[in-house]
């Protein structure tokens, strides 16, 4: 898969790609990432990429000229039809389902904004989709773009050393993870759940699934409700979900309380 990132901070993007699974995917040729800096396309001596908002108000807006020039240059290096995605707090949620769709593509263009955002006409004329990474404010689109790259890379065939890791993801798809333990067997007086030392792999599997369901019920009740309504959930997962009390029926804030 080929990805281009349009950014005022290409070194920030390139720097983050030098680590871990993404770095290895680049080295293996499973992924390639290029960057394009809109400042390259400025014509004034100061390299101006932003300007004051029409209508007034605080903050600056990215000028359309240099940004659209950078988008077109980067897009020309990608396979025909590669979608142009603008990372923005106003975008649709970036989810694992969206990651799976995007990871199928041969090419993807990501546009990272800075300042208060980009001139709306850039979105109208040079953007196909807008994505948000969550309901909080970050300072620009670079970390969101890197989040998207990271999530997609994990889904590229051969990117994970141990291919079980992504199958395991599907075992508990739609659930939070279970708790993990490693040596020592006792750490600061805290032991390891005995079932994990039992060697009984069926018991271990059941315990992990129950833990994942309980955590999901406590921390993300909406996720569990979404799973209940799904037809194609693995049988053992469906059973574990059924066996868990419905969200709100008693647990957590009441647990251990004397009436
Ligand atoms: C007037 C309010 N503005 C700042 C408090 C709005 C605003 C402008 C620019 C909010 C965020 C940003 C920069 N954010 C992104 O570029 C961004 C983002 C995000 O902030 N949250 C979640 N996903 C994304 S994707 C890109």
- Residue 196 and residue 137 in one domain: no
Ligand 1 neighbourhood includes 53 CB (under 6 angstroms): no
pLDDT of residue 256: 37
Q: Dump strand ranges (E) for the chain.
A: 2-6, 32-36, 50-51, 61-62, 84-93, 107-112, 129-132
pTM for this entry: 0.93
- Listed residues 132, 154, 176: the one ending a domain: 154
Residue 248: per-residue pLDDT: 52
Q: What is the CATH number of the domain that holds 124?
A: 3.40.1280.10
147 within a domain of the structure (yes/no): yes
Ligand 1 center from residue 11 Cα (angstroms): 20
Whole-number Å distance, alpha carbon 90 to ligand 1 midpoint, is 8
Q: Which is nearest to 64 in space by CA: 82, 80, 83, 86?
A: 86
Ligand 1: distance of its center to the CA of 138 in Å? 5
Residue span of the structural domain in which 211 resides: 186-258
Same domain, 190 and 114: no
pLDDT of residue 251: 47
Shared-domain flag, residues 192 and 248? yes
pLDDT score, position 173: 81
pLDDT at 164: 60
What is the CATH number for 204? 1.10.1270.20
213 and 254 part of one domain? yes
**Ligand 1 in reach of 89 Cβ (< 6 A):** yes
What pLDDT score was predicted for residue 241? 92
* Residue with token string 């395991």: 168
Q: Are residues 138 and 192 in the same domain?
A: no
The alpha carbon of 178 and the centre of ligand 1 are apart by a number of angstroms equal to 32
* Same domain for 220 and 129: no
Predicted local confidence at residue 245, as pLDDT? 73
Go through the chain and tell me how many residues it has.
Answer: 259
pLDDT of residue 124: 98
Q: Which residue's CA is minimally distant from atom 11 of ligand 1?
A: 137
111 lines ligand 1 (CB under 6 A): no
Starting at the earlier edge strand, list the strands of the sheet with 107-112: 32-36, 2-6, 107-112, 84-93, 129-132
Q: How far is the CA of 88 from the centre of ligand 1 (A)?
A: 6
Q: What integer pLDDT is reported at residue 247 of this predicted model?
A: 54
Give mean pLDDT in consecutive 10-residue pieces for the chain, a chain of 259 residues. 99 98 98 99 98 98 98 99 99 97 98 98 98 98 98 97 66 88 98 98 97 97 92 90 71 41
- Give DSSP secondary structure letters for 86-112: EEEEEEEEP-HHHHHHHTT-SEEEEEE
Q: Is 55 in the same domain as 111? A: yes
Phi then psi dihedrals of residue 47, to 5 deg: 65, 50
139/208 same-domain check: no
Q: Residue 253 has what pLDDT? A: 45
- The reported pLDDT for the residue numbered 240 is 93
Query: Which of 13, 60, 89 for mutating ligand 1's site (highest number of atoms within 8 Å of CB)?
Result: 89
């Amino acid at each position: 898969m080929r990805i281009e990132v349009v950014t005022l901070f290409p070194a920030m993007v390139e720097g983050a790609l030098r680590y871990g699974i993404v770095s290895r995917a680049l080295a293996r040729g499973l992924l390639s990432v290029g960057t394009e800096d809109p400042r390259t396309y400025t014509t004034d001596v100061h390299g101006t990429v932003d300007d004051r908002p029409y209508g007034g108000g605080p903050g600056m807006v990215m000028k359309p000229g240099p940004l659209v020039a950078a988008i077109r240059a980067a897009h020309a290096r990608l396979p025909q039809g590669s979608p142009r995605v603008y990372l923005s707090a106003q975008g649709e949620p970036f989810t694992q389902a969206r990651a799976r769709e995007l990871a199928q593509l041969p090419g993807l263009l990501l546009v990272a904004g800075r300042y208060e955002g980009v001139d709306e006409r850039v979105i109208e004329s040079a953007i196909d989709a807008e994505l948000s990474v969550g309901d909080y404010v970050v300072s620009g689109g670079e970390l969101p773009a890197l989040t998207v790259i990271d999530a997609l890379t994990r889904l590229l065939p051969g990117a994970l050393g141990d291919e079980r890791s992504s199958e395991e993801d599907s075992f508990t798809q739609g659930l939070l993870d279970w708790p993990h333990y490693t040596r020592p067997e006792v750490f600061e007086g805290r032991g390891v759940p005995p079932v994990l030392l039992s060697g009984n792999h069926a018991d271990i599997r059941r315990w992990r699934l129950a833990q994942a369901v309980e955590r999901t019920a406590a921390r993300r009740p909406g996720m569990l409700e979404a799973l209940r309504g799904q037809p194609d959930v693995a049988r053992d997962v469906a059973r574990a979900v059924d066996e868990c009390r419905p969200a709100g029926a008693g647990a957590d804030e009441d647990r251990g309380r004397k009436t």
